[in-house]
Structure formats: C-alpha cells, structure tokens
Amino acid sequence: MQAHRVPPQQRLSVTPRAALAVGIAILFLLLHVVAGVIVRASATVDGPSSVSMRQIYD
C-alpha cells in the first residue's frame, strides 16, 4: 500500500502589477490615517473655528 503523498505547494508568484497595486493600497490607507490624525489634532475644544464658521454672502 502506497502512502498518500501531498503534492508540494506551488510557490505564489507575485507579479509587478500586483505588487504595485498592493503598494498603492497601503499608501492610500496610510494617507487616510495621517489625515485623520491631523484632523483630530486640529479640532478645537470650544467648537468649530471662526474660519469654518465664516459664511459667504452674495
């Protein structure tokens, strides 16, 4: 009786296009995290800033 042999796993090939897509996705997420940190850091305790409250009238 032959022992059941598990075929060797094929090595996952990473194409340059796939690597670029993953790199862009990571950069996109990283920029969003940085933007979120900046927005939270710039938030004031006493409400919105006077610049954001300014209204433009015709």
Consecutive 10-residue averages of pLDDT for the chain (58 residues): 72 88 98 92 65 61
DSSP 9-36: PPPPP--HHHHHHHHHHHHHHHHHHHHH
CA distance 28 to 25: 5
Q: Mark residue 32 as left, alpha or beta (left: phi above 0; alpha: psi -120 to 50; beta: remaining).
A: alpha
Q: What is the pTM of this model?
A: 0.51
CA-closest candidate to residue 14, choices 5, 23, 6? 23
